[in-house]
Structure 1
Amino acid sequence: MTESYASFMLDHAAGNHDGALELAGDMHMLLNPKGAETAWLWSVIGGAMLEQRPPSEPTNTQKAKPWRRKARKMAQSARDLLAMAESSLEWKRGISGISYATTGTTGAKFIKLKPGQSAPAHGHGSLEATVVLQGQFSDGHGVYKRGDLVLGEPGKRHKPAAVGDETCICFIAETSHPLWNLFR
């Protein structure tokens, strides 16, 4: 387990992600037993730490119940997006030649790479979380299959390419880019 993966899953279990990143964590948990186990372990550790808190420190038990409702709602949203990816999506071809489909969630999209097709080499200015939904891809750092969570951290460069005979479909979640927020 890499440090960035552990940190991402800790934040996910604590409810620190929102929007697209939360959906990526939920999809990873739904598709990968390792993801579900990691999130569960972080939840257990967090619960134990809260129980060890001295009584003089305030706890916000009011927040726990809405978070659980939110977690159930987000898990359902992840299931809905998975169902959307497995049915017919409206694919568009981007300028790079890669096909993508929108999700209705800010910072989230689906991408599709045909067997042997690659995306242009690129880096990231903010965190990007990719969950493989179908097929496999390689990016020079590893080979990833269904359910895997791949984190593109700021400064990390890679060139994703579909491997094998199956089309690769991924869910991509990005944190917002402060510069682009000026144009919204």
Structure 2
Amino acid sequence: MEKKIQEQNLTSVTKDQYTKLLVQCFTPILGKEIKELQRLYGDNVLSDANQMRQIGTEVGAVMAEDCPAYLTLAGMLSSSPSSAAATTGQTVGQLGSLRGTSLAMLQLTVNRAEKADFVWLSKFQGAEELLPKLAALQGKQARISWQEIEVYQPEKKQYTKLREITGIELL
């Protein structure tokens, strides 16, 4: 990615240029990891636009931590008006503990360096069957579907963005 930025002498990029550059950088890697992607996301992962978008989100989170060239490229992206649409996604990792007193928070270990917290706020399909087994399922691979919500926290006198669980699939 760094090489591509330098070759093209980029100082700013449009959304289309940004996407094209990312596709050029990731396509060779995607080909090498196709079997693992199909194992984690299903055989039709490449034809499922939502799944590919989710993979892009997950890869982007890792790249933001580990790849300075990605941050440089993202910083070049021309700003565009923010969308009012709800943010949703899926995250894959190992189930952790369910904790909390006022809000139930489920932890998911995404990789060695990253743990993600999700708020268990309302019922979702399979929730009632999963709750009693949750302690025994710690460490098992799962995919958590979520939506981003804003919750008002009176002690901080502000809203906080949280990821609310909308589904859990054991892998």
Please report the TM-score for the alignment, with normalisation by the length of structure 2: 0.23
Q: Report which of the two has the higher share of strand.
A: 2
